Amino acid sequence: MKTVLVTGGAGFIGSNLVRLILAEEPDTRVLTYDLLTYAGNLDNLRDCLEDPRHDFVRGDICDREAVTEVLGSGNISEVIHLAAESHVDRSILGPQGFAETNVLGTVVLLEAAREAGVKRFIQVSTDEVYGSLGSAGSFSEESPLAPSSPYSASKAAADHFVEAFGRTFGMEVLITRCSNNYGPCQFPEKLIPLMIRNAMNDEPLPVYGDGLQVRDWIHVSDHSSALLAVLRGGRPGEVYNIGGGNERTNLEVIRSVLRLLGKPESLICHIDDRPGHDRRYAMDASKIHAELGWQAGVGFEQGLEDTIQWYMDNAGWLDSVATGEYRDFYSAWYSGGRTTG
């Protein structure tokens, strides 16, 4: 039985992917490696922890010794690398941790994977490495990398290292770049769960700038199925863009959240814009569709309704992740002139 190592598997996308692999591939074992930072939560994997085909190891991708031990511990043939610091706003307040985890951690993992003779390495990256679009067009795999934030710069740097390991050492590496995800278990720092949480608590909904920035939303289950398709059928050395084909302005998304929760638009409050804020992202996902037959299946309206229902049914999960650290981050973030008043 082959084993896939999933780094960051206790996070939002990772936990969804681990569950999908266990369900879809009865002959695959999954080893989740995760540090359980503020964004990682074993509760996200609750139903997988009892599965005899799943193991969990707590550890840091920057810890060379621990990573080497994990990669040598079982018959690991493939790595899907999701572990990362993932939030743009946090990268603005503290870029260094993003360089450490996202760049150095990726290099540590690549070196250990090469030594262990891992057959396939999938780097889970983001559309944000391409920078910002004007009102027309979309990113293709050939678009130049032009990251704006410390987060996207760290992901772009990691992508370069992954490609370099492919070219220099002949490793079988692949990169996926996906648009904005939403769905169950997303930490309430990202737009959709933050707006759901605040609206549920009748707190102000902080819109950065004019709120007319555009994102292409994809349900996390569609991202996971794309990752599995790339793991199984992607061509070595290739980049695959993944997108949901659901372009919405932030204000459109926020108004939908309020409508579905039956809350008033008077909760919306415009605050100072995010520095270096990318105006628009849109993905051309025709390559993964043509080569691997993948396409997104969840419509945005239905996906958003289901997601809101999940957060309403799991208010305890929201309370458990919104800890003192969460409140400290927001008091630092809003004190930089970004008042919600």
Sites of contact with ligand NAD (CB under 6 A): 7-8, 10-14, 34-37, 39-40, 60-62, 82-86, 101, 105, 124, 126, 155, 178, 180-181, 187
125 near ligand TYD, rule: CB under 6 A? no
Q: Which residues participate in catalysis according to the annotation?
A: 127-128, 151
20, 82, 153, 191: which one binds ligand TYD (CB under 6 A): 191
Q: Among 37, 41, 106, 180, which residue interacts with ligand TYD (rule: CB under 6 A)?
A: 180
d(CA 222, CA 299): 10
Q: Is 154 a binder of ligand TYD (CB under 6 A)?
A: no
Tell me which of ligand NAD, ligand TYD, none is bound by residue 191, counting a contact when its beta carbon lies within the kind-specific cut-off of 5 to 8 angstroms: ligand TYD
* Partners of 28 in the β-ladder: 2
39 binds, among ligand NAD, ligand TYD, none (CB under 5 to 8 A by kind): ligand NAD
> Using the rule CB under 6 A, is 268 a contact of ligand TYD?
no
Q: From ligand TYD, ligand NAD, none, which one binds at residue 122 (CB under 5 to 8 Å depending on kind)?
A: none
209/332 Cα distance (integer angstroms): 19
Contact 148, 154 (CB under 8 A): no
* Minimum CB distance to ligand NAD smaller for 170 or for 327: 327
E runs forming strands in the chain: 2-7, 28-34, 54-58, 76-81, 120-126, 173-178, 180-182, 205-208, 214-219, 239-242, 247-249, 268-271
Considering CB under 6 A, how many residues would be counted as binding ligand TYD?
Answer: 13
Rounded CA separation 274/295 (Å) = 32
Contact partners, residue 40, CB within 8 Å, separation at least 6: 8, 10, 11, 34
Q: How many CA atoms lie within 13 A of 3 on its CB side?
A: 19
Pairing of strands 247-249, 214-219: antiparallel
300 binds, among ligand NAD, ligand TYD, none (CB under 5 to 8 A by kind): none
Q: Provide the binding-site residues for ligand TYD, judged by CB under 6 A.
A: 88, 128, 180, 190-191, 194, 206-208, 213, 215, 250, 274
